[in-house]
Structure 1
Amino acid sequence: MVALGSTSQTYLVANLHYVNEPLVNMREHPSHASKIVSQALFAEEVTICEKKNAWSLIKTSEGYSGWVFNDGIVSRQDVYSHQIMTSRLNATIYKEKDIEYGPMKILPYGSKLNRIDMEDPRWYKVVLPDNCEGYIQKGDAGIEPPLVSQAELVYFSQKFLGIPYIWGGRSSFGYDCSGFVQMLYNQMGILLPRDSKEQIQDPRFKDIPLNTIEAGDLIFFGKSREKIMHVGLFLGNNQFIHTSIRENMPWVRISRLSDFEWSGHVDAYYPFRAARQLVSTR
């Protein structure tokens, strides 16, 4: 650990750092009263850029930065490897191979786990980033599934219907619009930028006329192209899946492009719409 500059700023260079909670909220400033900008998820490797009292300024692999409470981050001298991932929207880790003792942690979908024993017919034994051991039922986790096609993504996306909208959300505990679309495209091996205003500028996509939009394409909404505020995944048949607080329905849901709210009408909240289609995976 090497300290640079003032005593309130410590830059760590010796260790690897991982999220050890189901998720940690990343904030604009080192305070619980500060706005959330994003989330870092369980077993995600992060870079610690600065420490201030009980807070750390972290950067995720996608380049997003924010302040998190230190308790959610652990340091390791070695890489946290994983062989399985959670396959349910909520998956429980137990301290013992017995559900009657209650959960050790409840993890969101896609959480990576280091499996150290699989002999039991019901349980995987796992070790967490902080080296604590636990157990997860085999019905709640498995090997990482193969990448899906854009057509398959349409059906996959609908398993998340009804999950709450959460500002900055990136997990099955709650998504925001761009976090939801980012997670979906990740199932195809495509890592999108974090925010919708950046996603619309992704050079791997091209603009297409709305009347040529296909299932799996992205549909963006905003005040103008320079003020993009929302994104969803087109499903076909004039429908798209997304998450939003609009219409007093703060959850993942399916809407129609012909609905006034999403029509791009000059008097709608989002008078601008744009369709974008993936043309390159590089």
Structure 2
Amino acid sequence: MPLAITIVPVMPLRAEPSHRAEMISQAVFGECLETETVTQDGWVKVRMQYEGYEGWVTLSHLETIPQGLFEAPPTHVVRHWQAVLQLNGKPVHVPYGSLLKLGTAEWGSVSVAAGEGIVPFKPAPAPREAWEPIAMEFLNTGYLWGGKTVFGTDCSGFTQTVYKILGIPLLRDAYQQAAQGETISFLQEVKPGDLAFFDNPEGRITHVGIMLDEQRIIHSSGKVRIDPVDNQGIVNADTGERTHKLRLIKRLF
């Protein structure tokens, strides 16, 4: 199965091989994946390396890579809202939080050079002290179904990217993330950085955010925002409306 890497800043991952199909997630520059089916009109069925998510992307957004690069760990991370890389001698603007594998293996026929805003990557030694400044970079980012960058993110894309920068892997969807970590029994036991999950009237987990403390949460709802939270759920700080029903709290640090 050919291996590939994303060579555009943000690549839509779609439910079907069509530009009109639902965007179910994204891959940012430098993300690796396995390719499966290739259609005659340039669509490729892929499986993401980081969380195993599957979908359809366009062939022009990819470059075939060797096994060595696919298996190599990330060496750098983008810590500006966007940083400029040189791709075959031409600039490409890479979004905040992108993990990059530089200097470890050849990118197929592509040459890549690091630029300003790209720093060495290593898991945070004290994630509970490190996560909040990362999350705050996303404040006021607009909600985007399937998004996971500072230019548009859904709730689980936001939590996944914050934790990814810390070196802690999260799955892609809220209900998948809810199966990870240790359950916290009471809101009063919350520590900063814990994940809170919320369900819909049918009992399905549909929302996630990061607890700032036992009374406040940062989450992507309309935009990335900070709202009050209690034992029942989230209250919109602007309108006073109760928006999400609390289901459970998980700890991964």
Structure 1 residues 49 and 127: CA distance shift in structure 2, 3 A: closer
Task: Name 2:234's counterpart in structure 1.
Answer: 262
Determine if contact 2:196/2:209 at 8 Å carries over to the other structure: yes
Per mean C-alpha deviation after superposition, the further-off stretch among 24-33 and 106-115 is 106-115
Name the TM-score, length of structure 2 as normaliser.
Answer: 0.82
Q: For 1:75-94, what aligned pairs fall within 5 Å after superposition? A: 75-80=64-69, 83-94=75-86
How far is the alpha carbon of 1:169 from its aligned partner? 1.1
Per mean C-alpha deviation after superposition, the further-off stretch among 208-217 and 173-182 is 208-217
Determine if contact 1:43/1:129 at 8 Å carries over to the other structure: no
Task: Name 1:192's counterpart in structure 2.
Answer: 170
Task: Name 1:36's counterpart in structure 2.
Answer: 23
Structure 1 residues 17 and 179: CA distance shift in structure 2, 3 A: same
Determine if contact 2:216/2:226 at 8 Å carries over to the other structure: yes
Determine if contact 1:48/1:59 at 8 Å carries over to the other structure: yes
Structure 1 residues 39 and 96: CA distance shift in structure 2, 3 A: closer
Q: For 1:26-65, what aligned pairs fall within 5 Å after superposition? A: 26-53=13-40, 54-61=42-49, 62-65=51-54
Structure 1 residues 207 and 85: CA distance shift in structure 2, 3 A: closer
Runs of 4+ aligned structure 1 residues displaced above 6 Å come to: none
Give secondary structure in 1 for the equivalent of 2:19. Answer: coil
Structure 1 residues 193 and 155: CA distance shift in structure 2, 3 A: same
CA distance in 1, matches of 2:186, 2:142: 31
Q: For 1:123-272, what aligned pairs fall within 5 Å after superposition? A: 129=107, 131-133=109-111, 135-137=113-115, 139-147=116-124, 148-202=126-180, 204-224=181-201, 226-236=203-213, 238-245=215-222, 251-257=223-229, 262-263=234-235, 268-270=242-244, 272=245
Determine if contact 1:210/1:274 at 8 Å carries over to the other structure: no
Task: Report Cα offsets for 1:127-159 as digits up to 9, x if no partner.
Answer: 98354446554x411211441422331233112
Give secondary structure in 2 for the equivalent of 1:187. Answer: helix
Name the TM-score, length of structure 1 as normaliser.
Answer: 0.74
Determine if contact 1:113/1:127 at 8 Å carries over to the other structure: no
Task: Report Cα offsets for 1:66-98 as digits up to 9, x if no partner.
Answer: 01111111112353366433221111235799x
Give secondary structure in 2 for the equivalent of 1:226. Answer: coil
Identity %, equivalent residues? 26
CA distance in 2, matches of 1:114, 1:157: 23
How far is the alpha carbon of 1:26 from its aligned partner? 0.8
Is the counterpart of residue 67 in structure 1 residue 56 in structure 2?
A: yes
Give secondary structure in 2 for the equivalent of 1:157. Answer: helix
Structure 1 residues 192 and 225: CA distance shift in structure 2, 3 A: farther
Aligned residues, how many? 242
Structure 1 residues 142 and 152: CA distance shift in structure 2, 3 A: closer
Is the counterpart of residue 17 in structure 1 residue 4 in structure 2?
A: yes
Determine if contact 1:207/1:274 at 8 Å carries over to the other structure: no
* Bigger Rg over Cα: 1
Per mean C-alpha deviation after superposition, the further-off stretch among 221-230 and 21-30 is 221-230
Task: Name 1:276's counterpart in structure 2.
Answer: 249
Determine if contact 1:17/1:74 at 8 Å carries over to the other structure: yes
CA distance in 2, matches of 1:173, 1:206: 31
Match of 1:27, as an amino acid?
R
Match of 1:76, as an amino acid?
I
Task: Name 1:100's counterpart in structure 2.
Answer: none
RMSD: 3.0
Give secondary structure in 1 for the equivalent of 2:68. Answer: coil
